[in-house]
Amino acid sequence: RHVADFQLSIASVTEDSSSDCLAQDLHLQAQKLAERLKCDAVVREISAGPGTVNFTINRELLAKTVLQQVLKDGSQYGVKSELFSTVPRQKAVIEFSSPNIAKKFHVGHLRSTIVGNFIANLKVALGHEVIRINYLGDWGMQFGLLGVGFQHFGNKEKLKSSPLQHLFEVYVQINKAAQDENTKKLAKDFFRKLEEHDEQTLSLWKQFRDFSIEEYSRIYKRLGVHFDEYSGESFYHEKSQEILKTLEDKGLLQKTIKGTGIVDLSEKKDLSSFSTVMRSDGTSLYITRQVSPSVDLAAAIDRMHKHSCDAMIYVTDKSQSNHFQHLFQILKLMGYDWAERCQHVSFGLVQGMKTRRGEVIFLEDVLNEVRSRMLQNMASAKTTKEVEDPMETAEKVGLAALIIQDFRGLLSSDYQFSWDRALQSRGDTGVFLQYTHARLYSLEQMHGDEQLTDVNVACLQEPDAISVLQHLLRYDEVLYRSSQDLQPKHIVSYLLTLGHLAAVAHKTLPVKGSAPELAQARLCLFQAARLVLASGMKLLGITPVTQM
């Protein structure tokens, strides 16, 4: 079965754009146009389809051009495409992951971490400058409670060795007593001391923060994620008071009867839409993370001042969409035109991610779970060769499984998580991608001593070879789509198709036992497929494995 390389829809170029143009008229026009067009050195065949004109490229040229380009550009293939030649190089600040200290690192934070990392990777690959910021929930009343809790139940050794676990346990314990009036008073006092920069209190808070960041960095490293800056609400709580004053000076701050401070966001100034920025006691809102507009306003203004970036991207779940709409609107009202360059990339909720021990509390639980399940699968698989470092391989393959399952759909849609589905070795999974990469890699290793220079790739004429070549040709379009809407799913479905096409070609186009010229050409094809597979996987935040 022959598939054309390019297709032109007649309806898109005819004068008569009215929809009553009949299908048979379009077909007739397509035939007429196809007859008038001439083939040349590039186009080998022109034919008419139902309302389309189809073009088939000279097969030798297709093989030569694509393979030369892939092998020459290597990991830059697709990125160097002229599709990106008009796109200006920019500077972007991306805020993602952003867990709360002493609270659970829930699955929403995991999504934010891998999505933010993908966006950062893609932008860096396309030549943009990126600053990755982790904006921690490291301030607020809960630290009063945590401080008191630590004075009662804390243990300095445990704080050093496993800070996230220990602080969480302390927080759970003190929370049981949180309704007690005396505890409430102590917590308030502790937090007041913090705000007044009391040395002893601050030093304890700083330990909570520093040890937590240290442990987070270690876990992020397992994920292949890094940050240029660990920021947090604590940096901006004082500046947020200045923001409230600025809002007041500009006449944007209104007081309600109850005394809360609000900003009117409605078109008609009838308060049909407003944002609350101040509690009645005059403090900025610290009820829950990220719902303190004045703190976030201070952070945004400070960031723009410090980095003067072309884009500021926030990656959080969609329940915070309203908060960010308001944030950007207030910035605009304050006269900051760059609010137009701020963007909220939101994602849906993940249901049902549990470990064998129950609910996910820490990011590490997920990583350990996926590693142990993968090790088990590898041990029971008949095809598994002896892998040099099974733990490391299981971790990388398991992560690929998590990421592909998460990135297959639109980011904004919720999905039901399933370990079994994620870890299948066949079908559209991360495990399948890793397996395909490892197979193609070992094929290269087996024939490694053969130099792939001056290879005559013109002999790649089989339909299965052509399918791979056609698909490789489209890689830049897929990168372009993802760069426009920041959705990883375009790249995911591209890579899964590439994996399946390469797997079929691997079966039908043997390297071993073929004539030397043919063997070399096929090796070239498989190497190109592996290079593009690896590039795409790395963009998604996956480390390709070479053994499995």
**How does pLDDT run across 119-130, given as a tens digit for each residue?**
999 999 999 999
Mark whether 118 and 137 lie in a shared domain. Answer: yes
Domain-terminating residue out of 349, 366, 385:
349
Average pLDDT over residues 491-504: 98
Q: What is the pLDDT of residue 21?
A: 66
Most confident of 302-316, 351-365, 367-381: 302-316
Average pLDDT over residues 213-230: 94
Task: Give residue 465's pLDDT band: very low, low, confident or very high (50, 70, 90).
Answer: very high
Per-residue pLDDT tens over the stretch 148-188: 999 999 999 999 999 999 999 999 999 888 888 999 899 99
Catalytic one among 27, 38, 103, 123?
103
Q: What is the 3-state secondary structure (H, E, C) of 214-239?
A: HHHHHHHHHHCCCCCEEEEHHHCCCH
Active site residue 323: no
Mark whether 309 and 328 lie in a shared domain. Answer: yes
| pTM of the predicted structure, to 2 decimals | 0.92
Expressed as residue numbers, the domain containing 161 is: 91-349
Name the more confident of 16 and 397: 397
For the chain, the domain total comes to: 3
Mark whether 136 and 197 lie in a shared domain. Answer: yes
Mark whether 407 and 341 lie in a shared domain. Answer: no
Q: Does the pLDDT at position 1 exceed 80?
A: no
Average pLDDT over residues 264-268: 88
Q: What is the pLDDT of residue 383?
A: 60
Assigned domain for 262 exists: yes
Catalytic one among 38, 72, 104, 109?
109
CATH number at 427 reads 1.10.730.10
Nearest to 216 by CA among 325, 278, 137, 308: 137
Question: What single DSSP character describes residue 284?
Answer: B
Q: How many CB atoms lie within 10 A of CB 128?
A: 19
Domain-terminating residue out of 349, 382, 399:
349
Q: Does the pLDDT at position 287 exceed 50?
A: no
Domain-terminating residue out of 294, 329, 349:
349
Q: What is the pLDDT of residue 20?
A: 58
Mark whether 275 and 369 lie in a shared domain. Answer: no
Q: Does the pLDDT at position 217 exceed 50?
A: yes
CATH number at 176 reads 3.40.50.620
Q: How many CB atoms lie within 10 A of CB 159?
A: 19
Question: What single DSSP character describes residue 340?
Answer: G
Catalytic one among 104, 106, 166, 396?
106
Active site residue 396: no
Both tokens of 322, joined, read 């309203």
Active site residue 500: no
Mark whether 83 and 95 lie in a shared domain. Answer: no
Task: Give residue 453's pLDDT band: very low, low, confident or very high (50, 70, 90).
Answer: low
Per-residue pLDDT tens over the stretch 8-67: 998 888 766 555 567 778 888 999 999 999 999 999 999 998 889 999 999 999 999 999
Assigned domain for 545 exists: no
The span from the CA of 358 to the CA of 192, in Å, is 37
Mark whether 69 and 102 lie in a shared domain. Answer: no
What percent of the chain has a predicted confidence (pLDDT) above 70? Answer: 94
Residue 42: strand, helix, or coil = coil
Assigned domain for 317 exists: yes
Determine which of 52-66, 287-301, 317-331, 427-441 has the lowest per-residue pLDDT on average.
287-301
Work out the burial of residue 16: count CB atoms within 10 Å of its CB; fewer than 13 is exposed, 13-18 middle, 19 or more buried: exposed
Mark whether 334 and 286 lie in a shared domain. Answer: yes
Q: Does the pLDDT at position 309 exceed 50?
A: yes
Task: Give residue 289's pLDDT band: very low, low, confident or very high (50, 70, 90).
Answer: very low
Average pLDDT of the chain to the nearest whole number: 90
Task: Give residue 88's pLDDT band: very low, low, confident or very high (50, 70, 90).
Answer: very high
Instruction: With beta carbons less than 8 A apart as the criterion, state whether 520 and 452 touch.
Output: yes
Strands (E), 243-331: 253-255, 261-264, 274-278, 311-317
Mark whether 239 and 297 lie in a shared domain. Answer: yes
Mark whether 344 and 228 lie in a shared domain. Answer: yes
Mark whether 342 and 398 lie in a shared domain. Answer: no
Mark whether 242 and 367 lie in a shared domain. Answer: no
